[in-house]
Structure 1
Amino acid sequence: MYADDLRQIRWPAAAAGLDSSARLRHLAAGALRTGRPLAVWREPGADHPRLLVARSLEASYTGLPPALDAKAPAGFAFFPFRDSDHNPALFLPADFRYDLAEPETVAVAAEAREVIPGLAAWLATPQVEELAWNYSPQPAPRGATEAEYTALVRTGVAAIEAEEVVKVVTSRAACRPLPPGFDPLAAFEDLSEKYPRAFVSLVSAPGVGTWLGATPEILAEVTADGMFHTMALAATQPLTAEVTPRTAIWRQKEIEEQALVARYIVNCFKQLRLREYHETGPRTVIAGQLLHLRTDFAVNLKQVPFPNLGTDMLRLLHPTSAVGGMPKGAAMQFIHTHEGYDRAYYSGFLGPVNVSAPGVARLYVNLRCLQLRPDEAILYAGTGLTVDSDPEREWQETQLKLQTVAAVLNHDH
């Protein structure tokens, strides 16, 4: 932990027999029992997850994307695809945190000192087996059939042919029954093992529900050495023994789809009159059992006169053309008119800001995710359409993408 105003609370001797995962579970149980929002996440390539708990839901609401600078509050962003009363934009302040790399202490922020007595008492209580996860009060979206989704794709292609949009990203929900005894924290650990290169997350908040995911796509990142990063990630094909990053061949439709996303990012830089960026790619990358085309963009913040670049780019980027389309306004209107369900937090963004260190932020597009309901999971997947899109292939692409997070529903936890 980095800040002088963090109070370190040591686990009591009574917890000596608990490993770090059991301690994380115990902290999560206490947060859920008292109605406090929480986020658990594991960074790509990291060995240990982190837990963050906000002292109250009231302290968590925010309308604007977080500021990506060292002086901004520390917390975890959880933003919807489209902000609404049903899907509030959340920024969970890092009131107390637990890093499994430092398993003996819980850090409490100065603003949350009043929770210390209750937290210390909770740490000393016996473990709770059942965790009271939050569920959204909104009706569960209905899953689209193959006929419905392919019809949506045809409508999207017709809109492109009519020059109403250049590109649009259509998506669908799918409902899957939960296996008996489904355990979201165990599923989080399962996803972390299956997808070491993904950003794996579990977020639960009153009124918002519980969301679990493993996403490959960075929206905006500011690193400790003063670099800003974003990426254009698009086009999909399955990873097989025969088709690897070295041997993959991409169709014109997929190359064009990815180029449109890259062009969208360059246009965001142009809006800020920034020319000093480094572009790498496109190259073929692995995400779970899928291959994508990716172009990386980097800016050295120490060498450009844009101190708020991270914040400004975040506000311009979301929702990117990789989840909405181009032009943004027309694509968003098409989705609102034709998609037929509420995406909620799917294709929004999430991630920590100033938690590991001041000025370090990593925000990801919320892809490959599910929403937890009492007896079922709502899964989400989408595809980017161009004039050459084939409805049946787009349906199959969503089927492939659903498999990433559906893997944790295939057996008991």
Structure 2
Amino acid sequence: MGTATPTYTLAQFIQAAIAQQKAVAVWRLPLQQQVQACVALEHQVVGNQPELESSPFGFLFSPFVIEEQPTIFVKADIVFNSESGQLRFSEAVTKAQQQEFILALNNAEPANQNWHLHATETITQQTEAGFKSAVAEAIQTINSGQMEKVVLSRTATKPFPAGFDLVSAYTSMLEAYPNAFVSLVSVPEVGTWLGASPEILVSIDPQHIFRTVALAGTQPAIPGEPVGNAIWRQKEIEEQGMVERYILSCFKKLRLREYTEVGPRTIVAGNLMHLRTDFSVDLKEVDFPTLGTNMLELLHPTSAVCGLPKEPALNFILAHEGYDRSYYSGYLGPVNAPEGTHLYVNLRCMQLLQTEAILYAGAGITGESDAEKEWQETQHKMQTMGKILSDFT
């Protein structure tokens, strides 16, 4: 009789990586059951926007401002699949490295729940007064004609409840947000982030279909109420229209005419509803082999997290937001995985420090915005991650 292939748990895989001071990324695509994870024996810092088409299998983790934080590539040297519980090693991994990691897996203790921390705990944050002041100034700037829209964000710090556990928190996110891209990224010196994002940035599936979305406009979802009954204000309709027009302008820059557009329609993401328009391109019919890389370069940061026009909006954010977004509203996801490339905007996320979590949320500001309502919108968005923390209490 042959020896059975050993199986492991997601908790063992994550803890073995952290114990060995290795970068680990975990993800589940929307509406899927399978959770995947990869460990890089040596994580790489990517200097510029990556070339998606020529990249090896791995996980990209990129900040809001590329020049201010490193883009991290977690190469898939060791891959874990939750459905089989088995490991797969890339050809670059030596027998000695395999045995060393398997030893760490077998020694992983459930009680030893820790994670990689940022190199420094002094992380800047935004206050309620600071946020509302920035919104007021943004409205003035928009109404003076200097920009159409800007997205302003803020943070909130929450102490970890008793019994907080990294893997349990991730499992709770999987159950609570089946329609989201649910991720966990933990990199030495860079830190640990959990997120449940509703927003595709760039996706290319195994059938060579390119996808991106325009997602904007926010209102609380009413439990049991059909999404077809949602009523949208002019502000949200116009905000979503701006994001649509920006994507179409990117296609135009690339002289791409063959695309499919569906929407806008109302979708539910956690406790919120948004307006969403889906765009797709069949790369089997369009001779555009580098569309993924080209669109990533044009789209990030999108008008849904930055504003329009992009340059004045970004300059306004850097001058008035009052803190460093770091990896919030950057992008992340698997590249050239068996399921394709799927990069999502890092929204509805939190960063884990030693004893507390930093929650992030933003709101799109237009000339019709109201500072108090925008503050309340960020409160609603933070409930996505806040619920995960409160589940432990």
Task: Tell me which interval the TM-score lies in, with the shorter structure as reference length.
Answer: over 0.9
Residue 332 of structure 1 corresponds to: 314
Q: Tell me, in whole angstroms, the C-alpha distance in 2 between the residues paired with 1:394 and 1:412.
A: 28
For residues 114 and 158 of structure 2, the distance between their equivalents in structure 1, rounded to whole angstroms, comes to 20
Q: Return the alpha-carbon distance in structure 1 between the equivalents of residues 133 and 225 of structure 2.
A: 30
Please tell me whether the aligned partners of residues 142 and 173 of structure 1 are also in contact (alpha carbons under 8 angstroms): no
- Cα contact 1:184–1:212 (8 A) shared by 2: no
Counterpart-to-counterpart distance in 1, 2:36 and 2:103: 21
- SS of the residue 1:303 aligns to: coil
Aligned-pair CA distance for 1:11? 5.0
Aligned to 1:43: 29
Deviations 1:271-306 (A, max 9, x none): 111111111111111101100000110011111121
1:67 aligns with 2:73: no
Looking at structure 2, the residues matched to 335 and 180 of structure 1 have their Cα atoms a distance apart, in angstroms, of 36
Instruction: Tell me, in whole angstroms, the C-alpha distance in 2 between the residues paired with 1:258 and 1:400.
Output: 19
Q: How far off its partner does 1:142 sit?
A: 4.7
Find the aligned partners of 1:241 and 1:74 in 2 and give their Cα distance.
39
Contact kept in structure 2, 1:188 and 1:212, CA below 8 Å: yes
Aligned to 1:210: 192
Q: Deviations over 1:351-375 (max 9, x none)?
A: 0011225xx1000000000000111
Which residue, out of 59, 76, 85, partners 1:76? Answer: 59
For 1:410 and 1:128, how far apart are their aligned partners in 2? Answer: 21
User: Helix, strand or coil: the match of 2:361?
Assistant: strand
SS in structure 2 at match of 1:39:
strand
**In structure 2, how many angstroms separate the alpha carbons of the residues matched to 1:225 and 1:90?**
27
| 1:70-93 per-position Cα deviation (integer Å, ceiling 9, x unaligned) | x531000100001245x2101110
Within 5 A, what are the aligned runs for 1:87-236? 87-103=69-85, 105-113=86-94, 114-125=96-107, 127=109, 129-236=111-218
CA spacing shift, 1:243–1:237, aligned 2, 3 Å: farther
Q: 2:328 aligns with which of 343, 346, 351?
A: 346
User: Structure 1: how far apart are the matches of 2:162 and 2:106?
Assistant: 30
Cα deviation 1:326-362 (Å, max 9, x = unaligned)? 11111110000000000000000000011225xx100
| Structure 1 residue 371 corresponds to structure 2 residue 351 | yes
Percentage identity across paired residues of the two chains: 46
- Which of residues 224, 227, 232 is equivalent to 1:250? 232
> Contact 1:78–1:351 at 8 Å: present in 2 too?
yes
State the Cα distance separating 1:34 from its structure 2 match.
1.3
- Counterpart CA distance in 1 for 2:48 and 2:113 is 31
**1:83-140 Cα deviation digits (max 9, x unpaired):** 245x21011100000001122x210111222511212333444635213311112344
1:395 counterpart residue number: 375
Aligned in 2, Cα 1:240/1:11: closer, same or farther, shift over 3 Å? same
* Distance in structure 2 (CA, Å) of the matches to 1:392 and 1:115: 54
Query: Contact (CA 8 Å) 2:19, 2:104: kept in 1 or not?
Result: no
Structure 1 runs (4+) deviating above 6 angstroms are none
**Secondary structure, counterpart of 2:46 in structure 1:** coil
Measured in 2, the distance between the counterparts of 1:251 and 1:162 equals 23
Question: For the residues of structure 1 that align with 2:286 and 2:141, how far apart are their CA atoms?
Answer: 40
Of residues 27, 35, 39 in structure 2, which corresponds to 1:53?
Answer: 39
Aligned residue number for residue 19 of structure 2: 33
Task: Judge conservation of contact 1:223–1:361 (CA < 8 Å) in 2.
Answer: yes
After superposition, the C-alpha distances for 1:297-323 in whole angstroms (9 at most, x for unaligned) are 001111112111111111111100000
Counterparts of 1:144 and 1:204 in 2: how far apart (Å)?
A: 24
Find 1:404's aligned residue among 379, 384, 387.
384
What SS does the corresponding residue of 1:61 show, helix, strand or coil? strand
Q: Please, what is the CA RMSD of the aligned residues?
A: 1.8
| Alignment match, 1:238 | 220
Match of 1:267? Answer: 249
2:10 to 18, 24, 33: 24
Return the alpha-carbon distance in structure 1 between the equivalents of residues 128 and 105 of structure 2: 49
Asked whether the equivalents of residues 68 and 310 of structure 1 are also in contact (C-alpha less than 8 Å), the reply is yes
Query: What is the distance in 1 between the residues matched to 2:376 and 2:105?
Result: 48
Whole-angstrom distance in 1 between the partners of 2:230 and 2:72: 39
Secondary structure of the 1:240 match is coil
What is the one-letter code of the residue matched to 1:81? F
Structure 2 gaps of 5+ residues are: none
> Is the 1:141–1:173 Cα contact (8 Å) retained in structure 2?
no
Deviation at 1:52, TM superposition (A): 0.6
Consecutive unaligned residues of structure 1, counting only runs of 5 or more, are: 1-8
Spell out, residue by residue over 1:226-285, the C-alpha distance to the aligned partner (whole angstroms, 9 max, x if none): 110000000000111475411011111110000000111011111111111111111111
